[in-house]
Amino acid sequence: MNRWTRLLTPLLILLSLTAQAQAKDPAEKPIQVFVSVLPIKYLVERVGGSHVNARAMVGPGQSPHTYEPTPRQMTELSRAQIYYRIGVSFEQIWMKRIAALNPSLRIVDLRDGIRLRKLEDHHDEEEHNKAGHTEGAYDEDLDPHLWTSPVLARTMADHIRATLAERDPAHAQDYQAGFDSLAADLTALDTRLRTRLARVTHRKFLVFHPSWGYFADTYGLQQLAIEASGKEPGPRSLANIIALARQENIRVIFVQPQFSRTTANTVARAIGGKVIPIDPLAENYIDNLRKAADAFLTSLEN
Ligand SMILES: [Zn+2]
């Protein structure tokens, strides 16, 4: 073997493997998939690879609590085969309409098989409007931010694998391979987060919007929220939160780009703390959660 052959052989093997992995009938159309939020799009793409074309309803910077689908998305939905829902607020209004308009669309609820938690709520002075939330098998007041736990992300990814394989049995092995690779990454992420967060001294953290409940449950932390169910706190709630933050020696308020920072800034001034942005809805799921964990670590260690 001369030098060039030695260099080229592994490259050629790699190229032919890549070609095999990507080889597919050009007439084969990818499964058109819709999801509600970007982290779920990431899971679908990792499991489905080139066999799926996934789109998220709620784009970067938009809030799944107040979102309204565009006419264009409603048209695209008529050509979709699967919708993965998770229970975010806009689904409560729109899923019924989407289902009625698209009888052949398979709507998969990724909450199935997952034990849901209740949302943190400090709105003791306000009565929540619970009317009209009876649709489906779930209490819509339960926490919909499932994806912030890598453990639950793995459960949802397996559900995605099963439904893609059912829809397209010819590529069941590819979906299994996609899932296996994703599951390995999620397990590594979980191990890293578990190890790092085990050593923090403060276990309570303060957020504006309560997105991190499943994350907190997974790593033995406790989320305190300024706002709940999309509502700003009233003066009494706000005073309670400030008192609680002082009592717990909390110095950081986590905010996310989908919500105004005004109230968080008020609380920060009152407690002499600072506001730190972390985004629970970023598409780059694994890197983003690693970054978020670092932010928690820095603020909870001191
Ligand atoms: Zn939310």
CA of 118 from ligand 1 middle (Å) equals 13
Quote the domain boundaries for residue 283: 195-301
3-state secondary structure of 142: strand
Counting the structural domains of the chain, the total is 2
Q: CB atoms < 10 A from the CB of 218, how many?
A: 18
Token pair listed for 26: 């050009």
Quick one: pLDDT band at residue 9, thresholds 50, 70, 90? low
CA of 217 from ligand 1 middle (Å) equals 16
> What phi, psi does 201 have (nearest 5°)?
-85, -45
CA of 257 from ligand 1 middle (Å) equals 11
CA of 279 from ligand 1 middle (Å) equals 11
Q: H or E segment at 45? A: helix 38-48
Q: Is residue 184 part of a domain?
A: yes
Q: Is residue 1 part of a domain?
A: no
CA of 240 from ligand 1 middle (Å) equals 22
pTM here?
Answer: 0.86
> What does the pLDDT read at residue 17?
52
Mean pLDDT score of the chain: 88
157 and 61 in a common domain: yes
Q: Which residues contact 127 (CB under 8 A, 6 or more apart)?
A: none
Residue 128 and residue 115: Cα distance in Å, rounded? Answer: 23
Report CA 218 to chain centroid distance, whole Å.
Answer: 14
CA of 211 from ligand 1 middle (Å) equals 5
CA of 66 from ligand 1 middle (Å) equals 10
Quick one: pLDDT band at residue 134, thresholds 50, 70, 90? very low
CA of 210 from ligand 1 middle (Å) equals 6
Q: CB atoms < 10 A from the CB of 226, how many?
A: 26
150 and 226 in a common domain: no
CA of 65 from ligand 1 middle (Å) equals 6
Place of tokens 């709507």: 107
- Beta-strand pair 252-255/274-277: parallel
166 and 204 in a common domain: no
Q: Is residue 10 part of a domain?
A: no
246 and 97 in a common domain: no
Identify the bridge partners of residue 118 per DSSP, sorted by sequence position: 142
166 and 36 in a common domain: yes
Cβ 249 vs Cβ 54: under 8 Å: no
> What does the pLDDT read at residue 70?
96
Q: Is residue 2 part of a domain?
A: no
Residue 90 and residue 64: Cα distance in Å, rounded? Answer: 6
Average pLDDT score over residue span 255-279: 94
DSSP 246: H
The residue among 228 and 170 whose pLDDT is bigger is 170
Quick one: pLDDT band at residue 114, thresholds 50, 70, 90? very high
Residue 197 and residue 274: Cα distance in Å, rounded? Answer: 21
Q: Where are the beta strands (DSSP E) in 5-140?
A: 31-35, 52-56, 82-85, 106-109
